[in-house]
Amino acid sequence: MDTNLQKDDFTGTIKFVPPLHKQRYQFIKDLVIKYKPKKVADLGCADCTLLRMLKFYKCIEVLAGLDIRENRLFNFERFRRHTLSPLPGDYLQPSERSLTVTLYHGSIAHEDPCMLGFDLVTCIELIEHLEATELEKFPKVVFGFMAPAMVVISTPNSEFNPLLPGVTLFRHSDHNYVLYIALAVEAATRYDYTVEFTGLGTPPPGTEDVGFCTQIGVFRRKYPKNGETVSSEKPTEHAYKTVFKAVYPSLKDEKYLQNAVVSEVIFGAEIMKQRLLGNFKSEDMEHSDGLQMQLKFQPFKYFLMCSKNHSPVEAEKLATDRSMEPFIDGNTVYIPLTKIFSIPKVNQLCGTIEKLSKLIDGKVALSNDGSAVIVTIEYEDEEQEN
């Protein structure tokens, strides 16, 4: 922390590098990396900077932001919604995780069931802006009603003010370190949480008793031993207004999963077809001169060359042999599903060959018994004649 403290010799002003607001965001990101929460809510989300950062963390499946200032949320919805919305690339390559981002307009003094079940709730530089009545209700709403697994509360320390001359501050006189600790300990005790105190912005040497410039409390819930959910008897009335919602495409949605699998299968089958055609043409040209050498080192290629005249029924029977490699019969390429399933991406997406068969059924041409993907060969000379 000490390395982040710098002093401008000309103005005498203390500066933090990187700035404290960036350090606060990094503090939350470090917690996300360590504890991997699935559901995160930011109370007092303002311009949604923190939410925009957190949407890239693969462990998070639900992001929610709450702010009482409707004009800020309105401006975000109007001008910056794209920063939290899915991009074209998200639809082209859907993520394996699901992600929903929602913004709410409302007061922290009100209870709403949309804020139940969260793993992490952040209150970054929020409580210093609350009115007395809101601040009084804050512990009951956050710790008693929401009851997340973890709560992070940061607030400025007014005792640091004398060390920052000439800086416009928003540190109220009652935001001192001792009072903050007392209130935090009381809330933790009443609502069955443990609390760990830390902060950002170390004071200069000799002034350590002032405390951090930004004081932080990390609260962790002591879960009930009987295993009952904390929100089992919560009311269902909604007090917040939804102003923005984005649902990202995900491979957990079978529609997107099917599209991804079909795309991989078609691409993989086309590659296999081109490889077989290349082998077939080279063998056809060298048949008279090097047949014995090809049979010795590449027996499968010889099978391809000799498999032109099977009847459709015979070809189907060959395709059902799961030990069989892809082969050409006339103008059709047969690629057993086991071969398709061996494609790493297809294997990863499907998990089982039965699921692969189900997902591509009706989307990809299959043999009559469904055991092989079939691809038709279009010869150039035939196309020119037509």
For the domain spanning 2-247, the CATH number is 3.40.50.150
The strand ranges marked E within the chain are 5-7, 14-16, 39-43, 62-67, 100-105, 120-124, 150-156, 193-200, 214-221, 241-247, 327-329, 332-336, 372-376
- Residue 314: Cβ within 10 Å count: 12
The three state secondary structure string of 331-384 is CEEEEEHHHHHCCHHHHHHHCCHHHHHHHHECCECECCCCCEEEEECCCHHHHH
**Closest by alpha carbon to 63, among 94, 93, 97, 19?**
97
Res 313: pLDDT: 55
Domain extent listing, the chain: 2-247, 254-385
Q: Please report the pLDDT score of residue 80 as a whole number.
A: 73
CB 101 within 8 A of CB 246: yes
Low-confidence ranges of the chain (pLDDT < 50): 1-3, 8-11, 168-176, 225-232, 285-309, 319, 322-323, 382-386
Q: Each residue of 93-122: b (16+ CB within 10 Å) or e?
A: ebeeebbebbbbbbbbbbbbbbbbbbbbbb
Q: Which pLDDT value is given to residue 41? A: 98
Q: How far apart are CA 113 and CA 51, in angstroms?
A: 20
Per-residue model confidence as pLDDT tens digits over 364-381 = 999 988 999 999 987 655
Residue 132 CB neighbour total at 10 angstroms: 6
pTM, rounded to two decimals: 0.76
Per-residue pLDDT, 72: 73
CA neighbor of 29 nearest in space, from 63, 57, 66, 58: 57
The percent of residues in the chain predicted with pLDDT above 70, rounded, is 72
Choose among 202, 209, 216, 207: nearest CA to 6: 202
Is the CB of residue 276 less than 8 Å from the CB of residue 373? no
What pLDDT shows up at residue 178?
A: 59
